[in-house]
Amino acid sequence: MTTELVTTQLTNGLTCELPADSPLAKLLKSQRTWVGPSAKERLRILRNAKSVAIVGASPNPARSSYFVGTYLQQSSDYRVYFVNPNADEILGQKAYPDLASLPEVPDIVDVFRRASDIPAVIDEVIAVGAPTVWVQLGIWNQEAAEYGESKGLTVVMDRCIKIEHARFHGGLHLLGFDTGQISSRKQLR
């Protein structure tokens, strides 16, 4: 009887072979081992970007994508595009059916879709040539992140672009809370 082995990469970078059906292999497969860009790298991504496309944007004010879109329009210099094939307009702007319909290739594609939809979105991001895919807080698909990186994308996952932008620009405490601080110091954009 031959047991199928799987090669598992541990968080320390080492790899080992385990029986595929072993409890340890199943546990390691379920754990998050992929690590995205560091805080400094995320700051660089946000500083260098000029445009953001929000895939899965909603015209419903109760949805988090609506709130993030509002924030990006009002608190950043980004050209913001909304991608939703079921909407004509979001926050007073034209909504586009897909990334290929946008008037430019966005620097960041911010994704509000189910984890199972992320691989298809990554394929669309690659097809249009956008360099970065940013998957919103609470959404995790490790295989999709690894796939995107293997195709040359910068992948940020399980992080809110609004929280990160505000944190780097003086509007939020490190943990994401409103600081209530008003400053005359020049803000990083």
Domain that holds residue 74: 39-161
Q: Is residue 74 part of a domain?
A: yes
Domain count, the chain: 1
Domain with 56 in it: what CATH number?
A: 3.40.50.720
- What is this structure's pTM? 0.76
80/9: higher pLDDT? 80
Q: Is residue 78 part of a domain?
A: yes
Per-residue burial over 25-51, b = 16 or more CB atoms within 10 Å of its CB, e = otherwise: beebeeeeebebbeeeebbebbeebeb
Q: For 59-85, write each residue's pLDDT tens digit.
A: 999 999 999 999 999 999 999 999 999
Q: For 97-113, write each residue's pLDDT tens digit.
A: 999 999 999 999 999 99
Q: What is the pLDDT of residue 162?
A: 93
